[in-house]
């Protein structure tokens, strides 16, 4: 931190009410999504939307529910990629007096909506598959083979395009892995079509449908749970609040830490707020040294990059890690 920045922070701290030091730090990290060219992005999305439409039409004509369920899986991945790309663009907008945190949660809201829709689709597909067990229908395995093969080729092509950017972006890496599962799903559909064609095993289709739908439900539920957790400002599952407090209490001149809040603004940005009760009444410049140590520990040990500290000396009379009374 430069001398001028330290002076600015000290001025803010002095002006805080009740002589408390309220210090605030925020670091943003880039995202490789921005490096994916619009042309390539558009091609991948249109490719997957096209195969989704082809699988839905082909599945309805052939009577293959497995092909329709695979289409829903492809649709979910296309929507996820669109959401990831445009939510990133939206999240880059500057904060304002109405959106003081900016638009970083745009992708979380979109993911919540997307996951909720996919859960409903998954349940409906399973219900339809159970009905197929009771009342089997004729399936045109030749159509399933043709459409399934086209779907497999499209997924493999999408993986080739996304592979480069999957190494630098969490969003694109997720989309890349989804394309991989789509390819495996297409292989399953093709195997089912061959089994129906050769052995006339019609029950293979609803079995595959249930398998693909269960995987879709699992993935959607995990996204839904994670989205709700972020929107509810829950502490990240990988971070133990008690461990964070114990680590910070080891820093010299810190008596205790209370009124702690740890939450995520989005999938990457982790925030920390807390009251730091000091062992002695020190100067603002001395508190800045403690703050730098706190910020370093939180960033290096826990990946927390946004830190807000309120320093106290005999502040809250009865305190807990979470509350302040």
CATH of the domain at 23: 3.30.70.1350
Structural domain ending residue among the three candidates 185, 204, 231: 231
166 found inside a domain:
yes
For residue 324, tell me if it sits in a domain. Answer: no
Quick one: 267 and 214 in the same domain?
no
Q: Encode pLDDT of 36-51 as tens digits.
A: 677 777 888 888 888 8
Taking the alpha carbons at both ends of the chain, their separation in whole angstroms is 34
Classify residue 322: in a domain, yes or no: no
Claim to verify: residue 154 and residue 249 sit in the same structural domain: no
Strongest mean pLDDT among 153-157, 196-200, 273-277: 273-277
Using CA of residue 269, residue 275, residue 276, residue 280, what is the dihedral sign?
positive
Could you tell me the pLDDT band of residue 275, with boundaries at 50, 70 and 90? very high
Whether 50 and 193 map to the same domain: the answer is yes
Look at residue 325 and tell me if it is in a domain: no
- 226 and 102 belong to one structural domain: yes
Residue 296 inside a domain? The answer is yes
214 within 8 A of 126, measured Cβ to Cβ: yes
Q: Which of 163, 196, 231 is the last residue of a domain?
A: 231
Q: Is 218 exposed, middle or buried (0-12, 13-18, 19+ CB in 10 A)?
A: exposed
Is 323 part of any domain?
no
**Whole-model pTM above 0.95?**
no
Q: Is residue 104 part of a domain?
A: yes
Q: Is residue 168 part of a domain?
A: yes
User: What is the predicted pLDDT for the residue at 57?
Assistant: 93
Q: What is the CATH number of the domain that holds 59?
A: 1.20.1510.10
Q: Which two tokens stand for residue 314?
A: 């005999």
Write the DSSP assignment of 171-231 as a string of letters.
HHHHHHHHHHHHHHHHHHHHHHHHHHHHH--TTHHHHHHHHHHHHHHHHHHHHHHHHHHHH
The reply to whether 247 and 142 lie within a common domain is no
pLDDT-based confidence at residue 285 (cuts at 50, 70, 90): very high
Residues 75 and 185 in one domain: yes
Task: Tell me how many domains the chain contains.
Answer: 2
- Residues 271, 262 contacting (CB under 8 angstroms): yes
**Are residues 71 and 13 located together in one domain of the fold?**
no
Phi/psi of residue 311, nearest 5 degrees? -80, 140
* Range(s) of the domain holding residue 265: 3-29+236-312
Please indicate, yes or no, whether residues 196 and 247 belong to a single structural domain of this protein: no
What is the arithmetic mean of pLDDT over 19-37? 51
Least confident among 6-15, 93-102, 228-237: 6-15
Among the candidates 215, 231, 247, a domain finishes at 231
DSSP lists the bridge partners of residue 256 as: 277
- pLDDT tens sequence across 226-257: 889 999 999 999 999 999 999 999 999 999 99
Based on the domain organization, do 129 and 177 belong to the same domain?
yes
Residues 202 and 74 in one domain: yes
Q: pLDDT (tens digit, 9 = 90+) per residue, 297-316?
A: 999 999 999 999 999 998 77
For residues 25 and 271, is the Cβ–Cβ distance under 8 A? no
| Higher-confidence position of 126 and 169 | 126
Domain check: are 256 and 158 in the same one?
no
Residues 37 and 176 both lie in one domain: yes
């Amino acid at each position: 931190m430069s001398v001028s920045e330290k002076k600015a922070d000290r001025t803010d701290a002095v002006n805080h009410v009740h002589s408390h030091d309220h210090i605030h730090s925020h670091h943003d990290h880039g995202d490789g999504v921005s490096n994916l060219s619009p042309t390539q992005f558009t091609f991948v999305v249109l490719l997957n939307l096209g195969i989704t439409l082809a699988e839905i039409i082909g599945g309805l004509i052939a009577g293959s529910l497995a092909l329709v369920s695979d289409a829903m899986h492809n649709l979910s991945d296309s929507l996820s990629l669109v959401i990831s790309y445009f939510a990133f663009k939206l999240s880059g907008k500057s904060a304002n007096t109405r959106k003081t945190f900016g638009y970083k949660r745009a992708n979380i809201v979109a993911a919540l909506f997307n996951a909720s829709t996919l859960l409903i689709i998954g349940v409906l597909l399973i219900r339809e598959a159970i009905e197929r067990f009771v009342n089997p229908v004729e399936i045109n395995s030749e159509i399933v083979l043709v459409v399934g093969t086209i779907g497999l080729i499209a997924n493999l092509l999408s993986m080739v395009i996304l592979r480069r950017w999957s190494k630098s972006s969490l969003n694109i890496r997720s989309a890349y892995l989804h394309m991989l599962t789509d390819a495996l799903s297409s292989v399953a559909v093709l195997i089912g079509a061959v089994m129906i064609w050769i052995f006339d095993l019609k029950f293979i289709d609803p079995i595959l449908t249930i398998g693909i739908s269960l995987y879709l439900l699992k993935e959607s539920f995990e996204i839904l749970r994670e989205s709700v957790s972020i929107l509810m400002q829950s502490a990240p599952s990988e971070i133990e609040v008690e461990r964070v407090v114990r680590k910070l209490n080891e820093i010299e001149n810190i008596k205790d830490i209370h009124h702690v809040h740890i939450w995520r603004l989005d999938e990457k940005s982790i925030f920390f707020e807390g009251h730091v009760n000091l062992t002695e009444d020190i100067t603002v410049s001395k508190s800045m040294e403690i703050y730098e140590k706190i910020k370093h520990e939180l960033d290096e040990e826990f990946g927390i990059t946004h830190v807000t500290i309120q320093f106290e000396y005999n502040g809250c009379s009865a305190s807990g890690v979470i509350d302040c009374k």
